C-alpha cells in the first residue's frame, strides 16, 4: 500500500501513469471521503478508473459505477472431482452450455426459459425501477440468463484438490448499460445547469436529495438485482448442462455470488458514504469473494480481511494490460491455442483480444492483494465458454 496523495491510496504495483493520473483527478472531487483506493488490477476506465473504490458524501458519480451495473461473478462448488468427469467428451458440455445460454452482444432468449426464470422475472417486475427498465429496454425479460461478450465467461474448473467448480462472470446486460448511459447523461446535464466545471465530463455527479439522484439510485438498485439474478439464471442452466454431461444430479456444496460494479451505503472512517466499487469486490472481514484470472489462467475463491485502507475491498480480476485492438495486433492464434491447451473452448480468432497476456499477470495481482484477501481455493479451467 502506498499513499499517492492524501486522497488516493494505491495497492497496484503495475499501472500506467495515465491510470494513476485518472484516479488522481477523481480523488480531487470535493465530496470524496476519506480517499479513493486503487486496486491491484487498476486500468483506465470511463471517467473513473476500473479497479478503484470511490467513497462519496452527498453525491454520486454514475460513471464511477460503470455502464455494466452489477457486473460480477458466481461460483458453485459441486460434489464431483476430476475423476468423475468424462473429460474425453468435454466438447459436448461446451456445446450444451453454448446452446442453453445466449452468448455474445445482442443475443437474448426467444422466450421465457423456465418456471424459475419466470419467478426471477416476477421479482424484478415487483421492484422499484422496473418502470425505467421497461421504458428504456422493453425486452429486458428476454435478456435475463444471457452472457454477453468481452471478458464475460462460463467455466468448469478444478480446485487444488481436483474438486469441480462451476464459475461464471456477467452483469446487467443491455438494460443495465442503457440505464447507466441515461443517468450519466443526466448527471452531465445537471452539472452544466449548475455551471460546474469538471476535470472530465464523465466525472459528472448527482447531488443527494435531488430527484435525479434518487431516480438513479432506483435504477441502480434495480439493475444490480437484475445482474445478480442474471448470474443465478445462467448458473441454473449450466448446472443442468453439467448434470446431463456427467449423468447424475449436482449438489451445490457451496456458492458465492458477488458484484464488482456497484454502489452500497457503507460506513468508512467514521462517516456513512456511498461506496462505489468499479472493478472491485467487497472484502470486509470474512466475506467470501471471487477473483478470476484471464482466459486460460487461474482464478481464486477468496475471503476478505477487512483492510481499512482499501475500504474493505479487493481486486476483481486480472485487469487489462493492452486494449482490445492492441491485443489483436500483438498476439496470434497459435499463441492462444498454446495457452488454451487442455481446455475446451471456442477455438476462434474472435477471442484474440482475450489472450491471457492482454491482461496483468494474475499472480502479481494476487500478491499485491495479499493484505486484502486470503486465498481459500485456487481454480484452473477445463472448459471455457465465451461470447465473441
Taking alpha carbons only, the member of 302, 327, 329, 359 closest to residue 153 is 359
For residue 237, whether the previous peptide bond is cis, meaning omega lies within 30 degrees of 0, is no
> Beta strand pairing status for 8-10 and 36-43?
parallel
Compute, in degrees rounded to 10, the torsion defined by CA atoms 89, 340, 158, 250: -40
| Beta carbons within 8 Å of 279's beta carbon, 6+ residues apart | 39, 41, 42, 45, 49, 50, 51, 52, 66, 260, 261, 315, 316, 317, 319
Cα-based angle 50, 178, 150 (whole degrees, multiple of 5): 50
Taking alpha carbons only, the member of 320, 283, 70 closest to residue 172 is 70
Cα-based angle 338, 340, 345 (whole degrees, multiple of 5): 135
Cα-based angle 261, 295, 12 (whole degrees, multiple of 5): 55
The x, y and z cell numbers of residue 310, run together, are 482499501
CB environment 29-47: b (16+ within 10 A), e (fewer): bebbbbbbbbbbbbbbbbb
Which residues are 262's β-sheet partners?
A: 277
- Considering 113, 152, 169, 316, which one is annotated as catalytic? 316
Note if 316 is an active site residue.
yes
Taking alpha carbons only, the member of 299, 339, 344 closest to residue 318 is 299
Catalytic residues: 316
Amino acid at each position: 500500500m502506498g499513499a499517492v496523495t492524501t486522497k488516493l491510496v494505491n495497492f497496484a504495483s503495475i499501472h500506467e501513469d495515465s491510470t494513476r493520473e485518472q484516479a488522481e483527478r477523481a480523488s480531487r472531487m470535493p465530496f470524496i471521503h476519506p480517499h479513493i483506493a486503487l486496486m491491484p488490477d487498476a486500468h483506465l476506465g470511463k471517467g473513473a478508473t476500473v479497479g478503484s473504490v470511490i467513497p462519496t458524501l452527498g453525491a454520486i458519480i454514475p460513471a464511477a459505477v460503470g455502464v455494466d451495473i452489477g457486473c460480477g461473478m458466481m461460483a458453485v462448488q459441486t460434489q464431483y472431482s476430476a475423476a468423475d468427469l468424462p473429460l474425453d467428451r468435454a466438447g459436448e458440455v461446451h456445446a450444451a452450455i453454448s446452446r442453453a445460454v445466449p452468448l455474445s452482444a445482442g443475443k437474448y432468449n426467444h422466450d421465457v426459459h423456465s418456471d424459475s426464470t419466470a419467478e426471477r422475472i416476477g421479482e424484478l417486475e415487483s421492484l422499484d425501477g422496473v418502470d425505467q427498465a421497461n421504458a428504456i429496454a422493453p425486452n429486458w425479460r428476454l435478456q435475463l440468463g444471457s452472457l454477453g461478450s468481452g471478458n464475460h465467461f462460463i467455466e468448469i474448473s478444478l480446485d487444488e484438490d481436483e474438486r469441480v467448480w462451476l464459475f461464471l462472470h456477467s452483469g446487467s446486460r443491455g438494460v443495465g448499460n442503457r440505464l447507466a448511459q441515461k443517468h450519466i447523461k443526466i448527471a452531465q446535464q445537471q452539472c452544466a445547469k449548475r455551471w460546474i466545471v469538471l476535470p472530465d465530463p464523465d466525472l459528472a455527479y448527482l447531488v443527494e436529495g435531488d430527484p435525479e439522484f434518487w431516480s438513479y439510485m432506483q435504477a441502480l438498485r434495480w439493475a444490480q438485482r437484475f445482474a445478480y439474478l442474471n448470474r443465478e439464471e445462467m448458473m441454473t442452466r449450466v448446472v443442468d448442462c453439467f448434470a446431463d454431461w456427467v449423468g447424475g444430479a449436482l449438489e451445490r456444496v457451496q456458492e458465492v455470488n458477488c458484484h464488482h460494479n456497484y454502489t452500497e451505503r457503507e460506513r468508512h472512517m467514521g462517516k456513512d458514504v456511498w461506496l462505489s466499487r468499479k472493478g472491485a469486490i467487497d472484502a470486509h472481514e470474512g466475506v467470501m469473494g471471487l477473483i478470476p484470472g484471464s482466459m486460460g489462467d487461474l482464478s481464486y475463491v477468496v475471503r476478505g480481511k477487512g483492510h481499512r485502507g482499501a475500504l474493505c475491498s479487493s481486486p476483481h480480476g486480472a485487469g487489462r494490460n493492452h486494449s482490445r485492438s492492441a491485443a489483436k495486433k500483438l498476439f496470434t492464434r497459435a499463441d492462444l491455442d498454446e495457452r488454451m491447451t487442455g481446455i475446451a473452448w471456442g477455438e476462434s480468432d474472435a477471442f484474440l483480444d482475450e489472450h491471457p497476456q492482454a491482461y496483468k499477470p494474475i499472480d502479481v495481482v494476487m500478491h499485491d492483494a495479499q493484505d486484502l484477501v486470503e486465498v481459500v481455493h485456487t481454480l484452473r479451467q477445463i472448459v471455457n465458454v465465451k461470447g465473441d
